[in-house]
Amino acid sequence: MLWRLGKRILAPYFLSFPLEVEGELPPPPFLLIANHLSALDPFLIDALVPYPIVWVANRLIFEHPFLGPLIRAVNAIPKRKALPDCRAVRGIFRVLERGGVVGLFPEGGIPWNGVNRGVTPATEKLLARLRVPVVFAHIQGAWMRKPLWADHSRKGPVFIRFTLTACSSILSFWHSEWEWQKRRRIPFRGERRAEGIERVVFFCPACGRFRSIIGRGNEVRCLSCHKKWTIDAYGFIDGLTQEEFTANQESLLTAFCEHTPEIVFPKVLVTERTSPGGALRSFSFGPVVVNREGLLARGKFFPFSEIRGENTFLKKVFEYTSGRHLVRLHLEKDACLLLSLVRLRKGNVVQCPSSPSLR
């Protein structure tokens, strides 16, 4: 009933978007896998598919005051982000065995840089066990319409192509909004295209100053050396892709951490929940400190050796698991920076927004 109601009320709104669609769908049951470029992806696909889709969704959404009751009512499958989740796998097979359709974004999140690469080992194992058709929904343009870091959306088309494919083809799927845009040269118009870019540009590419970059209107500015760059209607920054513009961020962050033993985020909302259930234990508002050995939040010290499953949700939440604690740090501008710092401090090769692993 909710699906029919949504089709009646919401589908016309999403179908009013400039959408271009190709391909046909088999009858249920089947698994629908899509690359993830925007928060609207599942709604756009739902509007196009003539069958109810049971989506696999981040557990964080189930706790949202508005979306939580709605997503539970449509029987979505909760999944722990960036960690294996056997209960989610069992939920997927239950829906497929009953003749339903399951929707899955195998990368688990929207890329900070507009580049999707491959699937996780857990998804490979899932696909190897399937005995139903697999449909790949290839989305293009949705990230350009609103990059993950951006404060404002732009006007432009979204392309979705449905392909019935072999599991082996899904394992190697790759999509770059930048390579696609180089070929298509489609304008995505907006008056404040640069606002929010400081979420992924930690250092000025020209002078190297930490936290000196801001976005104003369509301009990227450095408050230290006063250099300016313009983001054009195609998304390029003075002719450069985001990956090219942020090419020196990795080396700058590595050098910065070598000479800065402690980095403080002064105003952070910290929530702590039980894992994997997600029941709220406590919350507080205050500083978070990252040093060489671990992360200090709410007066508790979390050694890097015990932090796992670190990830970002949309653009304002950094999340990790430590023991039976699920900790979420809500930051207005610094979720991506905190993820990069923790991964670097853990001893991994730092992956700045020019790399596809920041998802």
Does residue 288 sit in the same domain as residue 241?
no
Sheet containing 307-313: give its strands across.
300-303, 294-297, 280-290, 263-274, 325-330, 317-322, 307-313
Sheet containing strand 213-216, strands side by side: 213-216, 219-222, 228-230
- Looking only at the bridges linking them, the beta strands covering 101-104 and 53-58 are parallel
Structure tokens at 211: 């936290």
| pLDDT lower than 50: segments of the chain | 349-359
Range of the domain at 128: 2-184
What is the per-residue pLDDT for 79? Answer: 85
Is residue 97 one of the residues assigned to a domain? yes
pLDDT of residue 177: 96
pLDDT in tens, 38-89: 989 998 999 899 999 999 988 777 777 777 777 877 788 988 776 777 888 8
Q: Which residues contact 197 (CB under 8 A, 6 or more apart)?
A: 149, 150, 213, 215, 220, 231
Q: Is 74 exposed, middle or buried (0-12, 13-18, 19+ CB in 10 A)?
A: middle
pLDDT digits (tens, 9 = 90+) for 286-330: 999 999 999 999 889 999 999 998 999 889 999 999 988 889 999
Does the residue 359 lie in any domain? Answer: no
> What's the pLDDT at 225?
98
For residue 275, the model assigns a pLDDT of 66
- Are 55 and 169 found together in one domain? yes
The count of structural domains within the chain is 3
Do 216 and 87 fall into the same domain?
Answer: no
Sequence-ordered list of residues with C-beta below 8 angstroms from that of 112, at least 6 positions apart, any chain = 148, 149, 199, 200, 312, 336, 353, 358, 359
Print burial letters for 333-359: b (CB count within 10 Å at least 16), e (below 16): ebbbbbbbbbbbbeeeebbbbbbbbbb
Residues 70, 93 within the same domain: yes
Query: Environment class of residue 75 by beta-carbon count within 10 Å: exposed (0-12), middle (13-18) or buried (19+)?
Result: middle
Residues 60 and 180 in one domain: yes
Whether 40 and 165 share a structural domain: yes
- The pLDDT assigned to 260 comes to 92
- Does one domain contain both 261 and 242? no
Domain membership of residue 225 (yes or no) is yes
Give the model's pLDDT for residue 170.
Answer: 65
Enumerate residues 6+ apart whose C-beta is below 8 A from 71.
55, 57, 61, 62, 64
Same domain as 201, residue 321 = no
Q: State residue 351's pLDDT score.
A: 41
Backbone angles phi, psi at 251, to 5 degrees: -70, -35
